[in-house]
A and B are shown apart, each in its own frame.
Chain A
Amino acid sequence: EAQVTQNPRYLITVTGKKLTVTCSQNMNHEYMSWYRQDPGLGLRQIYYSMNVEVTDKGDVPEGYKVSRKEKRNFPLILESPSPNQTSLYFCASSLRPTNEKLFFGSGTQLSVL
């Protein structure tokens, strides 16, 4: 089944403790992206990747890192999480950077205490 898989589904952590949210797609998509969803703000793009080893900042990249060493994986790293990073995170992918139909994962609800 074609899908975007995120893990974990829920995560509670404390300020300053490094964490990684994994994202994997099995559709051989070139383009992958991370969004955060906050009430009243919709989805805001954190980082995106056009292809392997090609990443760039979105609208709200501060406090986040990403890597794209393999085509299928695009982990989101929070080196030193803070409470303002408490949010619902979504990974998404599409076949090409210009192919605008995004496939979304089920989301990761992160709480930073």
Chain B
Amino acid sequence: GNSVTQMEGPVTLSEEAFLTINCTYTATGYPSLFWYVQYPGEGLQLLLKATKADDKGSNKGFEATYRKETTSFHLEKGSVQVSDSAVYFCALSGRAGGTSYGKLTFGQGTILTVHP
């Protein structure tokens, strides 16, 4: 079946540091890939997505490139801010065994804390 593995957290950075959160996946076929963000006390929000190999998703200074050869979708940001502190989830969408059409499979989440 489909699965998503994210780097272990928590990740703690100083403001303006470079961020990478690793994400690798296992899936059949050609899944779409996503990053969702969860701010404290809120539900998840879509941050960015990519639907095919070599696509780059970007939003709010965050980027991730769909790498089929390495089955990865790492999240990056060149200069983080305190307001980026949140939990980040990598996810994929695709059929699994012919059921759950359009289902999202999530990674375990990575807690990011950014200090001033």
Contacts and interface: CB of A to CB of B under 8 A. Distances in A.
Nearest to B103: A45
A102 B104 contact: yes
Interface string A22-58: 0000000001000101001111110010100000101
Contacts of B106: 35, 42-44
Interface residues of A, number: 28
B28 interface: no
B82 interface: no
A40 B4 CA distance: 13
B108 A40 contact: yes
A103 B41 CA distance: 15
Interface residues of B, number: 23
A45 B100 contact: yes
A106 B41 contact: yes
Contacts of A56: 99-100
Nearest to B93: A100
Interface of B: 4, 32, 34, 36, 41-46, 49, 89, 93, 99-104, 106-109
Which are the 9 A-B pairs with shortest beta-carbon distances?
A104-B43, A42-B108, A43-B106, A42-B106, A97-B102, A100-B93, A104-B44, A98-B102, A101-B46
